[in-house]
Amino acid sequence: MRTQRMSDVEALRLLRPKGRSDRRALLRLGGIVLLIAVFAGALDYNNHRQQMIRERDWMSAIATIEDTRAQLAMRRDSQSGGAMLYEVDILARYPVSGVVREQWTPIHQYPQLLADAELQMGLLRGKRCFVRWKRSDPDHIVAEVR
């Protein structure tokens, strides 16, 4: 197989846009890339701002999941049959100012079937999670389980 060599000047001449339609296509592509970059920057700024608000207004701790339970969340009816949907609650044990607290809290996720909830409950017992609460309402905790 034989390859042809060309000079750098010829290669640059071939890469440049040839006509008005090529320039418009490049300009349109540049505009789309710019819009995507602006959107990504705005999204990153919003996430950073939310994180700063959370750090300023919320307290947090690492908790151990002592126990789990399934709570009936809703009953879904349909023409072919219904299903009972459950949400999983955890008993979180965490230290606050030298005092150990225990509190039941739901995991924020979509309700699921009982078999799925029981499987998740078995997997969660004894694990560690992250809990946070507003300084103004320390009894309402939010658990983040990974």
Residue with tokens 């999670």: 129
- Tell me if 92 sits within 8 A of 131, measured CB to CB: yes
Q: What does the radius of gyration of the chain's CA atoms come to, in whole angstroms?
A: 28
pLDDT, one tens digit per residue, over 4-54 is 888 888 888 887 888 888 889 989 999 999 999 999 999 999 999 998 988
Specify the CATH architecture of the domain 58-144: Beta Barrel (2.40)
Task: Give the separation between CA 31 and CA 105, rounded to whole angstroms.
Answer: 47
Instruction: Tell me the pTM.
Output: 0.61
Give the CA dihedral 133, 48, 36, 30, nearest 10 degrees. 180
What's the DSSP call for residue 77?
-
Q: Decide if pLDDT at 146 tops 70.
A: yes
pLDDT, one tens digit per residue, over 79-131 is 667 788 899 999 999 998 889 999 999 888 888 899 999 999 999 999 999 99
